Structure 1
Amino acid sequence: MKARRKDTLDKDLEKITYVEYASLSISRRIAVPGLACLFLIAVILVASLSQLGQPALGVVVIASVLAAYMAVNIGANDVANNIGAAVGARAFSLTLGLAIAAVCEISGALVAGHSVVNTIASGIVDLSQLQGPQQIVWMMMGALLSAALWVNIATWIGAPISTTHSIVGGVMGAGIAAAGMASVNWSMLAGIALSWVASPLLGAIIAVAVLAFIKTTIIYTADKIAAARRWVPVLIGTMFGAFTTYLAIELSVTPATSGLPLFLLSGMAVGLLSWGLSVPLVRRQSLGLENRNQSLRVLFKLPLIFSAALLSFAHGANDVANAIGPLAAIVSATRGVTAGANVAVPFWELLIGGAGISIGLLLFGPKLIHLVGKEITKLNPMRAYCVALSAAVTVILASSVGMPVSSTHVAVGSIFGVGLFREWYIRNSKRRQAYLRMRAAGELPPAKEDGEANPEEAQRRYLVRRSHLLTILAAWTITVPAAAGLAAILTLIMFRLFI
């Protein structure tokens, strides 16, 4: 009898445990939208306080909420590109990656987000062709809502689309619905479209060049550790020097052309300082490491963390415009500014965009991080470093001239470039073949490396999943017309309801 009571008690305790697990799972599901709602409430307060005494307070608050919604979707879908490669290479944990990206996204948006915002706000559609501020307001509302909905749908189904494509298509479609085809700045749009083709190619070229340099100077050498001690600090110094030059240009009040020598000198000074500081650090990390590729992964973790942070900063500087550009145009229109090349971008708008992107990443981003970082091609810290560095440099170059490129294009282009280069290198590199002959002759210690265990198999191996390339290209192709069509419909509805 006592045994039966004990069994019954154990079963009851198991049921209680299952209930506790179920309630914990439900609470997590509730917490995510709950935190998102708290962020939207904070956005309403910030927008209201910033617009006290200004006309059309309610309209600006609604636009701010839509911009925050778009920013959260950007963080959920787009920021996966920034840390996906590093997480996929297991250089750091997903939690650390999310924290680094969140801080750097906000910093990039606040420090260098102005240039691209102006392009989105007033460069795609000629605002002077619209009939007054009200049309500008509701056209941009339609563009914001359509882009946010499209990115939300893509995130839900797990497709890493371009949020830049979404907002550019949204603004274009809303402009056509509001004022016809002539209102679109087709030359500007052609330049943006050209950058969408050029940016992934440039990202791939830079990534391949850096990877080829690493393979030549470090991986396929007799003493890998000694080579890494020499060249890893150089890579770190070059990265920090280039980033410092970019920041000096962005923060300077003088024209970039007149101050360029000073900017280059400041970048060179920081680069040399970074190189000097990293030399003893890399040397200390390399103590006791074997002369193997596995050891190189340890030495490349630090530069990979820096490059991922740099890419997140660059993404914040470029892609915050996808959420804040229409909001800036709306706020300016409510104050009577209906045309002009430059739209004022207050600090509170950039703060909403940067914070929204970070919150979207923290709450909803991990799903696409695994797709970008692990499912296209195999990444180790060296390859992931090449991807992050090339994407950061490409996006920084675009941001410095106010061009809204797609960070998704650049990052994915870099990943595919690295994978395809590895396929070619395994089959055709004379340096690699000589290295393998030396190892087979016993002149070098054995070390397992991708494609080397079976040379005949390596000749016919594909290291890139082509199916993902086709899926991503299809998502990119449909984004602009889908966002434009949805924006046109929403804009016409808003015009009918509010004008």
Structure 2
Amino acid sequence: MPDLSPEVIILVLVVIMALSFDFINGFHDTANAIATSVSTRALSPRTAIIIASIFNLVGALTYTGVAKTIGGKITDPFKLENGLVVVLAALTAAILWNLITWWFGIPSSSSHAIIGGVAGAAVGAAGFGSINMEGFLDIVKALIISPIVAFVIGFIVIKIVSRLVANTAYHKTNRSFRFLQVLSASWQSFSHGANDAQKTMGVITLALLSGGFLHQAPGEFIIPLWVKLSAALAMALGTSVGGWRIIKTMGGKIMKIKPISGFSADLSSALIITIFTMLKLPVSTTHVITSSILGVGASQKLNAVKWGLAGRILVTWVITLPVTALLAAACYVVFDVFL
């Protein structure tokens, strides 16, 4: 008979919850990668989701640097007591927040949710001393800086692209950029998988190490192959489900998107996400993509952007990390009593 100790049962729950988070992340963030290409009719919704699913899967299997950052830099898995319950509480908080914001069609950040969840649960378990402040602040800085850079790059890219095609007939420009959007949406989906799926891989590996189910030397953080494959597949399956509520917000409610502006926004955000992934830093793909769209819109006309909705999205960005941290700390207290 297999060992069905409490630790094994909690580990199974953690893996199920982590893959559920990745699945929800897939359909929650699908809109980020394909909304502009769907809204400009460069791709049909079905084709866009197929492309996004494939490239999310490939991207998720390509890198592990972000996973090591998430799993090893917020808190030390080798020193974390009751680490399995910590991870379970973090995932519960992140999933609840993702579902709430998805239901209301608000493109919040899965990255903020899981990072806030891990930090809050660790604090709930062992106080603020359990947080690696240097590593945690590096992550927070990347989360803050990346949308600002994306806004600026989006603003610049649309200016350059518009100047390059200034003397081209409007209908030819639309046709060309609809084709280019297929390429930019593919790259954006790849970069999304390369950054976002890593967060689940890092959380599962954190649980394995802190629970004593994976033995590595202190300072090492190697992602097992089965963790890579399961996280990548979960995100790809979630992506295939789609997130139509958020597609409506990202694809038209922020600003009216044309093929040239959609391509510029996609190109800008894919570039920023890829750069931060290479630097092994987690970013919010939601924040980066939305900021790129806002930058593109602001470069054309300030009133082209519906700033009221943008402000509501910004509020969600700001509160996600502290809300999920508090929610995860509360979940840890409850789980610690019953598990």
TM-score range normalised by the length of the shorter chain: over 0.9
Per the alignment, residue 358 of structure 1 pairs with 236
Matching residue's letter, 2:203: P
TM-score (norm 2): 0.93
Matching residue's letter, 1:127: P
- SS of the residue 1:78 aligns to: helix
1:327 to 1:377, Cα distance in 2 relative to 1, 3 A: same
Match of 2:89 among 102, 120, 142: 142
- CA–CA distance in 2 between the matches of 1:410 and 1:419? 14
- CA–CA distance in 2 between the matches of 1:338 and 1:140? 19
C-alpha contact 2:153 2:295 (8 A) present in aligned 1: no
Matching residue's letter, 2:307: R
Per the alignment, residue 392 of structure 1 pairs with 270
C-alpha contact 2:30 2:49 (8 A) present in aligned 1: no
Displacement of 1:336 in angstroms is 5.4
- CA–CA distance in 1 between the matches of 2:274 and 2:128? 32
- CA–CA distance in 1 between the matches of 2:265 and 2:115? 25
Match of 1:127 among 77, 93, 99: 77
Matches within 5 A, 1:363-382: 363-382=241-260
C-alpha contact 1:118 1:341 (8 A) present in aligned 2: no
Per the alignment, residue 106 of structure 1 pairs with 57
Per the alignment, residue 59 of structure 1 pairs with 10
1:143 to 1:338, Cα distance in 2 relative to 1, 3 A: farther
C-alpha contact 1:106 1:355 (8 A) present in aligned 2: yes
Displacement of 1:413 in angstroms is 0.4
1:161 to 1:193, Cα distance in 2 relative to 1, 3 A: same
- CA–CA distance in 1 between the matches of 2:263 and 2:229? 29
1:326 aligns with 2:203: yes
C-alpha contact 1:110 1:347 (8 A) present in aligned 2: no
1:330 to 1:203, Cα distance in 2 relative to 1, 3 A: same
C-alpha contact 1:142 1:174 (8 A) present in aligned 2: yes
Per the alignment, residue 190 of structure 2 pairs with 313
- SS of the residue 2:290 aligns to: helix
- CA–CA distance in 2 between the matches of 1:54 and 1:340? 27
Matches within 5 A, 1:389-468: 389-423=267-301, 462-468=303-309
1:338 to 1:185, Cα distance in 2 relative to 1, 3 A: farther
Displacement of 1:315 in angstroms is 0.6
Match of 2:317 among 467, 471, 476: 476
Per the alignment, residue 383 of structure 1 pairs with 261
- CA–CA distance in 2 between the matches of 1:53 and 1:143? 25
Q: Could you list the per-position Cα deviations for residues 226-283 of structure 1 after superposition, in whole angstroms to 9, with x for gaps in the alignment?
A: xxxxxxxxxxxxxxxxxxxxxxxxxxxxxxxxxxxxxxxxxxxxxxxxxxxxxxxxxx
1:340 to 1:54, Cα distance in 2 relative to 1, 3 A: farther
Q: Could you list the per-position Cα deviations for residues 108-130 of structure 1 after superposition, in whole angstroms to 9, with x for gaps in the alignment?
A: 11112x11111111110133443
C-alpha contact 1:85 1:372 (8 A) present in aligned 2: yes
Matches within 5 A, 1:50-449: 57-112=8-63, 114-131=64-81, 135-218=82-165, 220-221=166-167, 224=168, 292-332=169-209, 333-335=211-213, 337=215, 340-423=218-301
Q: Could you list the per-position Cα deviations for residues 324-360 of structure 1 after superposition, in whole angstroms to 9, with x for gaps in the alignment?
A: 3211111233325488443221222222222222222
Displacement of 1:321 in angstroms is 2.6
Displacement of 1:415 in angstroms is 0.3
- CA–CA distance in 2 between the matches of 1:104 and 1:414? 20
C-alpha contact 2:71 2:205 (8 A) present in aligned 1: yes
Matching residue's letter, 1:385: F
Matching residue's letter, 1:96: T
C-alpha contact 2:49 2:242 (8 A) present in aligned 1: no
Displacement of 1:480 in angstroms is 0.8
Displacement of 1:305 in angstroms is 0.6
- CA–CA distance in 2 between the matches of 1:181 and 1:159? 30
1:59 to 1:306, Cα distance in 2 relative to 1, 3 A: same
C-alpha contact 2:93 2:331 (8 A) present in aligned 1: yes
- CA–CA distance in 1 between the matches of 2:207 and 2:148? 35
Unaligned stretches of 5+ residues in structure 1: 1-51, 225-291, 425-461
C-alpha contact 2:65 2:278 (8 A) present in aligned 1: yes
TM-score (norm 1): 0.64
- CA–CA distance in 1 between the matches of 2:139 and 2:216? 23
C-alpha contact 1:136 1:338 (8 A) present in aligned 2: no
- CA–CA distance in 1 between the matches of 2:150 and 2:136? 21
- CA–CA distance in 2 between the matches of 1:303 and 1:163? 28
C-alpha contact 1:128 1:338 (8 A) present in aligned 2: no
Displacement of 1:167 in angstroms is 0.5
1:486 aligns with 2:327: yes
Unaligned stretches of 5+ residues in structure 2: none
- SS of the residue 1:334 aligns to: coil
- CA–CA distance in 1 between the matches of 2:251 and 2:328? 32
CA RMSD of aligned residues (A): 2.0
How many pairs are equivalent?
336
C-alpha contact 1:127 1:183 (8 A) present in aligned 2: no
Matching residue's letter, 2:172: S
Displacement of 1:68 in angstroms is 1.5
Matching residue's letter, 2:281: M
- SS of the residue 2:61 aligns to: helix
1:103 to 1:336, Cα distance in 2 relative to 1, 3 A: closer
Whose relative contact order is higher, 1 or 2, with alpha carbons under 8 Å and at least 6 apart? 2
1:336 to 1:315, Cα distance in 2 relative to 1, 3 A: closer
